[in-house]
Structure 1
């Protein structure tokens, strides 16, 4: 794998122009409370308004802070100890600091629940993730070593019922040879030690290049994103990225180009025994003439390693033309076993109104040509739409309201165009008829953490004061409508989760504390709807398979 990366590494080094080093300390996506805090601060006008928040992790340079984990500068006066975990050397050219020690506990009473939890797995019962590490910087070189230890009880639960219907067994997403999304990853007492949020970088302002295992988040969404989230564990990748917005006469730019390795879970049968090469990028532009507006796109290609060539376009297919016809092919089905995802996004920030709106529109499969796109723009499409507002200010206290809609179910045009394929859902988001593993890493989705073909609507209301936050969230989660349209079809049998969550983030001296209690009512769990004839006669809308799940999270971080 690394032999194949050397050409990309050489190509990336050509971009290094300048002599001023960068601290390039990143804010892990595991610290969601701090990520949300900085985004609220931008709405308040306290963070660089040219920072897009569409390519994360964020870096200390972009946030203009010396200690990214102490944004309110309270530790110096309120620390529990006199221990200074950070020291500099060699006339300030070097730096060493201990990263926060963190523990996250998660529990599910009935079945797996939870997204955007990184290296944690879908599991019933108790689960814990712990991490601790350090950050080292000398001149142009920076090293972040932040490994993670994951343990899950991983109890058995009522999963998809075998023998319910033949079509279900053949087409359900977790069935053999369709996508690498096993219902249960591993057995009882699952334990894994991972590199976590670790990286090695060489950085010149404003460019950084390196080898990283960090989780990435691309796009403006806070609950979901189409191409890159932290719903799976981090994967090893080469990265060339900006560490803060690059100002030009026409506006500011941010971007990231990666080449990585996606691995299989080992728990799904019928898939090729091969890892996949992933080439992906995100680019965001903030026009000089329209303050607060961010326009951008994301794009990714994955291909099995045994199908890789040795040319420039094999290592950097994201730089190729968009349409299939421009590639000179005479067939709509690609000749190589590769899969492309692409999205366009916009975020509009209104600091004077303490608000923002955003959207992301994506295609799982690129159009044959412009005519094809204009005739059927919804083919293999998905979108995210959201808004975020701060209001009710009383001194440094205020309320936050934000909502987000994610639509990933296939349009009818997509279902119709896929009739020639063995699997009618082959071009649904994150599936592919040639890349059998789908858009996954170690058995979890690299993109949005909800099931493929699903839709969600989320509304959150919270009280805020600096880092402190107490709130309530309402979710409606429609599971895999693609599968329901194809195989279930009974309009009473949609699997829909209705949930209410109460959460809090709090800081006290060195501690950052997070807690969440989520009550989930699953209607027609696993799409099971087989009432008796007597039940139907008594009540046509009878609900024979509703279940309840209690989902809790509790996390603590200690800042040295």
Structure 2
């Protein structure tokens, strides 16, 4: 659930109530342990780093948010608390009555400022428009042996200042701007801007109610999820949007089957929400989604994890039907379909992934391959396995370095651009669908890879760690919706049949610095990103007369994003 406010004072009043409750908890608390660990939090970063550092571990976290039990299993091996990434963090907790404990979750304040353009990703319910965006997270939990309740809402204020609008956005008959997706219009619910006024949001964030026994659990949740092996851009499920409202059933942490291996599995069924600005043909219809994520690490090769994610989106006009939770078992569609044009009334999406750790080298490689819309039958899959496909691959490596405890190198390639199969068979943009018009979105943001439909990315980062510090640099190239460029700049549209528009790709070049200082209990983070947005706005697409690679107008823009935040772990 998400509440949107135009009045900033309402948000401030809500925050004041929350802080009052927080102080009351803190005055009576003792030091014990918390519950789930929010994706992207300090403890989540610690966990991901230690899974790479500790050569005795052989199972990566592929179903996040992780449980605090899993966190404890990892950090029980550490004896050095002088380094922030090795510090076993706990939160304040008190017994409220016999067998039930309550405590406070980490409190975090984050501020992001964009100078000229909206820029942001993997930020849950927030959207980083031009100007500043202020976020607050915090909350409390109640737990017992068999039940846990997390309440960790996400408050956001968006200044949402005006900026230069791109060319290919939809307008009504009077010429008024409609907040559609650039280039894709209302083929997906991904507005290029969320209205023209400042606004505030209250989202339930990383909140859940869980019933659990041993390593199995079930419950309801609004948590942003991160599924699969990728470290920057998972193809199916990430924290790029607010968390789905969903019910779930699965394992809390890997279950060991003697002589076979470890299995981790989770099913969810939920309801993606539509943004306030979607005006497509199916606006207002209720979507239902269900997914299954299964990962396996064999006993004979414990450093390898292989997994698969499968799911579908449908419209649920007639209410819930239990048969809807079995849709993802249809790996191949019925062979009596009339054609291959994607006429089915459900949007199917699936991926396979792997994660391989080299403990002695302190390195890992990972990859994911995804399909949207299943094959007609097995023959169709063998002939064209790359139909409506996307892929991602990358590696991370820990290296010794002078003056630092170690360096971490991270390289990742993500490709969601439609393959050349488009020449002989229709393919929609990844994350879009001809029937489920909102696409794979929640509250107007893509649930998978943040770069969005038709895009591709190459990312390289180098981070140095020492004592209470992390400092890093990164570089990235992102081609935004290259499918749209190929469509509008095709040689068939040019004056010469030999060349199309090969010089006006819409590309972002990003360079940045990041910093973390964590003496405890306070952790300060910051990031500075310089972006050169080449051919911003696509203003000259389709205009070839007199233009070539040497004399076309450079419609480029520069944006600088600055982020600073602080987390307090009670």
1:126-137 matched pairs, under 5 angstroms: 126-137=132-143
Give distance in 2, aligned partners of 1:404 and 1:474. 11
Q: Does 1:514 align with 2:525?
A: yes
Structure 2 counterpart of 1:422? none
Contact 1:231 1:446 in 2 (8 A): yes
CA deviations on 1:388-425 (whole Å, 9 max, x unpaired) are: 0000156980011110000110012135311xxxxxx6
How far the C-alpha of 1:155 sits from its partner, in A, is 1.0
Structure 2 counterpart of 1:540? 550
Q: Does 1:348 align with 2:356?
A: yes
1:152 to 149, 158, 178: 158
Structure 1 counterpart of 2:372? 364
Q: 1:65 to 1:311 in 2, by over 3 A?
A: closer
Q: Does 1:206 align with 2:215?
A: yes
State the superposition RMSD in angstroms. 3.2
Give distance in 2, aligned partners of 1:307 and 1:501. 49
Give distance in 1, aligned partners of 2:160 and 2:459. 28
2:237 to 228, 231, 240: 228
Give distance in 2, aligned partners of 1:478 and 1:375. 28
Contact 1:472 1:501 in 2 (8 A): yes
Give distance in 2, aligned partners of 1:224 and 1:190. 28
Give distance in 2, aligned partners of 1:149 and 1:39. 26
Q: 1:513 to 1:71 in 2, by over 3 A?
A: farther
Q: 1:98 to 1:416 in 2, by over 3 A?
A: same
Give distance in 1, aligned partners of 2:317 and 2:375. 26
Structure 2 counterpart of 1:29? 39
Give distance in 2, aligned partners of 1:233 and 1:163. 24
How far the C-alpha of 1:164 sits from its partner, in A, is 11
Give distance in 2, aligned partners of 1:162 and 1:485. 15
Give distance in 1, aligned partners of 2:183 and 2:209. 36
Structure 1 counterpart of 2:476? 475
TM-score by length of 1: 0.85
**Secondary structure at 1:85 match in 2:** strand
1:503 to 514, 522, 527: 514
More displaced 10-residue stretch of structure 1: 244-253 or 301-310? 301-310
Give distance in 2, aligned partners of 1:86 and 1:290. 40
1:87 to 87, 94, 99: 94
Instruction: Note the residue ranges of structure 2 that are not aligned, 5 or more in a row.
Output: 2-32, 172-176, 491-500
Contact 2:191 2:277 in 1 (8 A): yes
1:49 to 32, 47, 57: 57
Structure 1 counterpart of 2:494? none
Q: Does 1:297 align with 2:308?
A: yes
Structure 1 counterpart of 2:454? 453
Contact 1:265 1:442 in 2 (8 A): yes
Q: 1:71 to 1:376 in 2, by over 3 A?
A: farther
Contact 1:24 1:142 in 2 (8 A): no
**How many aligned positions are there?**
517
Q: 1:415 to 1:158 in 2, by over 3 A?
A: farther
Q: 1:535 to 1:519 in 2, by over 3 A?
A: farther
Structure 2 counterpart of 1:553? 563
**Secondary structure at 1:64 match in 2:** helix
How far the C-alpha of 1:436 sits from its partner, in A, is 0.6
Contact 1:122 1:184 in 2 (8 A): no
1:387 to 370, 378, 395: 395
Contact 1:154 1:190 in 2 (8 A): yes
More displaced 10-residue stretch of structure 1: 448-457 or 153-162? 153-162
How far the C-alpha of 1:384 sits from its partner, in A, is 0.4
More displaced 10-residue stretch of structure 1: 395-404 or 362-371? 395-404
Give distance in 2, aligned partners of 1:42 and 1:143. 27
Q: 1:259 to 1:74 in 2, by over 3 A?
A: farther
Structure 2 counterpart of 1:182? 191
